[in-house]
């Protein structure tokens, strides 16, 4: 699709067809019940994937088969989860998405049409950074109990922390987006726009602060709203939070998972990104294309912006020890 065709699509929309399916009458290739037991297991109220078994299946197949297998596992996952739960779970599909949800079909259709339109806007905004997904993006829109069981099993089984987020994009052998809310409540538009940006950028392996800044930018572009508060009070708290230790946690991405620093991390990421957009209009796209997680984007900043990340941070935070530590980064990513 050419550039002007993409603009036309965003301005006037495209035809989006949503289909609704029953788990027992699914018109896609899926694993049989016996074979599925090798790749899925029950964890509380959720049905989880056996990552090791799926990886072994990928490794034993040709690269040409991987896209087909990824779709097969996604379709099988929602089908067998719907069967396992014995609840009123609905499965819906569109051009680029598979959705499993408790909500009414009309609201599922609204959610998928929003997702398709969001994908168009993200693709237009960051054309060189992303490609439309070859496989359908998998979305779980489930209740908080299942969300916790899924997170506890797949992300951090050693943790007893309560669920803090309303949704997330999970990178992994079978990537997916997951949200929790109850039928009849507001649809998770802001969270979906944010996490979809992560999903579409996931192959780039951007520094986490940059990945989050772009996702926050797109949630505002798409919905007109933002999750994190930019009040004067929060801004002042943000400026005073960072020091020589916490800034290194920020550059490697750890600070986004620490309760005390999570919100400050999102605010700082957006502040740095906005400064780059403002001060380096002609070169920021090249910076985005070449920024890499293992050095927090420092080498790309030096080469394409002509300055260091520490100097960019000084414009936002004031004087301080803000440069990414090469030793800290190497130790962290080893």
CATH number for position 152: 3.40.30.160
323 in Cβ contact with 308 (< 8 Å) = yes
Q: Is position 216 within any domain?
A: no
Q: For the chain, what is the domain count?
A: 2
Q: Is the pLDDT of residue 157 over 60?
A: no
Strand, coil or helix: what is 130?
coil
Note down the domain range covering 113.
Answer: 3-204
Q: Is position 214 within any domain?
A: no
Q: 12 and 156: one domain?
A: yes
Q: 283 and 195: one domain?
A: no
Q: 98 and 61: one domain?
A: yes
Q: 25 and 133: one domain?
A: yes
97 in Cβ contact with 177 (< 8 Å) = no
Q: 168 and 295: one domain?
A: no
Mean pLDDT of 171-193: 85
Written as six digits, the tokens of 205 are 């392996």
Residue 11 CA, distance from chain mean position = 25
Structure confidence at residue 176 (pLDDT) = 94
Q: Is the pLDDT of residue 94 over 90?
A: yes
Residues 97-119 have pLDDT tens digits of 999 998 899 999 999 999 999 99
Q: Is the pLDDT of residue 10 over 70?
A: no
Q: Is position 29 within any domain?
A: yes
Strand, coil or helix: what is 323?
coil
Domain stop point among 147, 174, 204: 204
Q: 191 and 282: one domain?
A: no
Q: 287 and 318: one domain?
A: yes
Average pLDDT of the chain?
87
Q: Is the pLDDT of residue 153 over 90?
A: no
Backbone angles phi and psi of 122, in degrees to 5: -65, -40
Strand, coil or helix: what is 177?
strand
317 in Cβ contact with 275 (< 8 Å) = no
The Cβ of residue 183 has, within 10 Å, a number of other Cβ atoms equal to 12
Q: Is position 300 within any domain?
A: yes
Closest CA to 258 of 210, 208, 294, 217: 208
Domain stop point among 204, 238, 254: 204
Q: Is the pLDDT of residue 279 over 50?
A: yes
Q: Is the pLDDT of residue 46 over 60?
A: yes
Residue 179 makes CB contacts below 8 A (sequence gap 6+) with 139, 140, 141, 142, 147, 166, 167, 188, 191, 192, 195
91 in Cβ contact with 82 (< 8 Å) = yes
Written as six digits, the tokens of 319 are 């004087």
Q: 264 and 229: one domain?
A: yes
């Amino acid at each position: 699709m050419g550039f002007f065709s993409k603009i036309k699509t965003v301005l006037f929309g495209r035809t989006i067809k949503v289909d609704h399916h029953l788990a027992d009458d699914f018109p896609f290739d899926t694993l049989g019940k016996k074979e599925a037991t090798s790749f899925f297991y029950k964890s509380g109220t959720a049905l989880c994937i056996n990552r090791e078994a799926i990886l072994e299946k990928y490794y034993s197949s040709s690269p040409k088969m991987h896209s087909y297998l990824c779709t097969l596992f996604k379709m099988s996952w929602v089908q067998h989860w719907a069967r396992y739960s014995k609840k009123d779970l609905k499965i819906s599909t569109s051009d680029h998405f598979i959705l499993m949800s408790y909500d009414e079909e009309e609201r599922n259709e609204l959610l998928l049409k929003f997702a398709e339109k969001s994908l168009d806007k993200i693709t237009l905004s960051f054309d060189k950074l992303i490609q439309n997904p070859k496989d359908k993006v998998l979305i779980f829109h489930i209740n908080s109990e299942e969300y916790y069981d899924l997170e506890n099993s797949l992300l951090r089984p050693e943790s007893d922390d309560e669920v803090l987020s309303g949704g997330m994009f999970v990178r992994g052998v079978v990537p997916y987006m997951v949200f929790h809310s109850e039928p009849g409540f507001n649809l998770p538009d802001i969270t979906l726009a944010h996490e979809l940006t992560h999903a579409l950028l996931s192959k780039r392996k951007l520094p986490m602060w940059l990945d989050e800044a772009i996702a926050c930018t797109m949630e505002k572009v798409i919905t007109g709203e933002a999750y994190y508060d930019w009040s004067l009070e929060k801004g002042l708290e943000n400026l005073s939070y960072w020091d020589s230790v916490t800034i290194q946690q920020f550059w490697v991405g750890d600070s986004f998972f620490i309760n005390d620093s999570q919100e400050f991390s999102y605010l700082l990421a957006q502040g740095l990104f906005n400064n780059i957009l403002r001060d380096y209009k002609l070169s920021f796209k090249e910076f985005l294309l070449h920024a890499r997680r293992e050095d927090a984007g420092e080498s790309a900043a030096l080469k394409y912006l002509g300055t260091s990340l520490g100097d960019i941070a000084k414009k936002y935070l004031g004087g301080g020890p803000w440069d990414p530590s090469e030793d800290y980064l190497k130790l962290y990513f080893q």
